[in-house]
Amino acid sequence: MLIEISLGEYPSLVRLATLLLHDAPAAEDVVQEAFVAMHAGRRRPRDVGKALSCLRREVVSRSRSVLRHRAAAGRTVPAYTPDGPSAEPGAMTLPEHSALLAALRSLPCRQREAIVLRYYASLPEAEIAASMGISKGAVRHHTARGMAALKPVLEQDVP
């Protein structure tokens, strides 16, 4: 069962980690390490139905560790720009997309995690709370604060 979940959810977990880390290769490493830890039994959930939630929590936790290590080591990460279907749509949306990603990167870690899990992964508050290891009230707090900080960037697109 864990293998099926792993294969089916791998792309979405990599995208989640990429949004948190801004580095696709590091995101793949984080997700693979989370899968290995769960498969080896060190982090295996007792209820197989909760496996995806446990994997998300492990990915978020390992992403935090990578970010802490980078901050301690003083390393910089190359800017990540997602691949578009062609150059024209990418050229048309890149400035807005870049501004949003830059604003998202400027948020504190918990706010960024809450917004990515809520609006990118479309998770309910309970699953976000479980993934982040915080209460539902804290999820609402971090999401509201993060959205307030992103509001000026999001309103630039409105004519």
Could you report the per-residue pLDDT of 103-115, keeping only the tens digit for each?
Answer: 888 899 899 999 9
pLDDT at 14 over 70: yes
pTM of the full structure: 0.60
**CB hemisphere CA count around 28 (13 angstroms):** 2
Nearest CA-CA partner of 130 in 68, 47, 74: 47
* Contacts made by residues 72-79, CB under 8 angstroms, sequence distance 24+: 77/21, 77/22, 77/23, 77/26, 78/23, 79/22
pLDDT at 69 over 80: yes
- Chain-centre distance for alpha carbon 14: 8
pLDDT, residue 71, reads 81
Binning pLDDT at 50, 70 and 90, where does residue 125 land? very high
Q: Phi and psi of 80, rounded to 5°?
A: -100, 125
Given the candidates 3.40.190.10, 1.10.10.10, 2.60.120.10, 1.10.3210.10, the CATH classification of the domain at 86-159 is: 1.10.10.10
Is residue 38 a contact partner of residue 13, using CB atoms and an 8 Å limit?
A: no
E strand or H helix that includes residue 158: none
Nearest CA-CA partner of 60 in 103, 105, 109, 102: 109
Could you report the per-residue pLDDT of 127-149, keeping only the tens digit for each?
Answer: 999 889 999 999 999 999 999 99
